[in-house]
């Protein structure tokens, strides 16, 4: 049997192309899967309600959530944007949640203000047990629909996402 470089290269290209197509298919399939919930599950003790000042949002890493205080109403707000699952930070200068990925903006109560998000930020129920605020991370409350503006107020200052 004679060694033929042309056939060897031909087979190599076919094998390489097949492997590349398989990798592209796997990556595409993986990207289209919904994001899995991350962080803790169950009940998470957050401490005394008095430690959450009005008009503030405090990030709780253990639950991957924000505890926000909108005029005395406390919320355990998911950090995940309902649009595509990006992490949504709280902008201290504007007093709003601003998604850095696609520009959705939410008020301090998690209500939708603008952007491509289909609704407001999802939440977890909060209860008071023995004087401590407790978030139930096993339960997700769908964010408020567009048009909810119970906690909407003018921005405190410049937006973080607009470079201000």
Tell me: the pLDDT tens digits for 65-98?
999 998 888 999 999 899 888 889 999 888 889 9
pLDDT of residue 155: 82
φ and ψ at 28, to 5 degrees?
-65, -45
Look-up of token digits 């930020």 = 121
Q: For residue 76, count other CB atoms closer than 10 A to its CB.
A: 24
Residue predicted with more confidence, 160 or 33: 160
Q: Does 3 score more than 80 pLDDT?
A: no
pLDDT tens digit sequence for 121-144: 999 999 988 888 888 888 888 988
Q: Residue 69 has which token pair?
A: 């205080």
Lowest mean pLDDT among 5-19, 35-49, 108-122, 128-142: 35-49
Render the burial of 105-132: b for 16+ CB within 10 Å, e for the rest: bbbbbbbbbebebebbbbbbebeeeeee
Q: Report residue 128 CA to chain centroid gap.
A: 25
Q: Does 13 score more than 50 pLDDT?
A: yes
Task: Give the C-alpha distances (Å, rounded to integers) separating 45 from 63, 96, 125, 141.
Answer: 10, 24, 12, 18
pTM for this model (two decimals): 0.70
């Amino acid at each position: 049997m004679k060694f033929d470089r042309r056939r060897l290269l031909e087979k190599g290209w076919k094998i390489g192309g097949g492997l590349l197509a398989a990798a592209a298919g796997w990556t595409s399939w993986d990207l289209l899967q919904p994001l899995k919930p991350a962080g803790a599950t169950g009940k998470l003790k957050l401490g005394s309600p008095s430690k959450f000042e009005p008009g503030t949002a405090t990030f709780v890493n253990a639950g991957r959530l924000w505890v926000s205080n909108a005029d005395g109403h406390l919320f355990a707000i998911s950090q995940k944007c309902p649009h595509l699952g990006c992490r949504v930070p709280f902008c201290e200068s504007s007093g709003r949640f601003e998604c850095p990925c696609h520009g959705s903006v939410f008020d301090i109560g998690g209500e939708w203000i603008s952007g491509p998000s289909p609704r407001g930020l999802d939440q977890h129920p909060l209860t008071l047990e023995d004087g401590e605020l407790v978030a139930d991370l096993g339960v997700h409350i769908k964010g408020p629909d567009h048009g909810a503006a119970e906690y909407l107020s003018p921005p405190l200052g410049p937006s973080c996402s607009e470079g201000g």
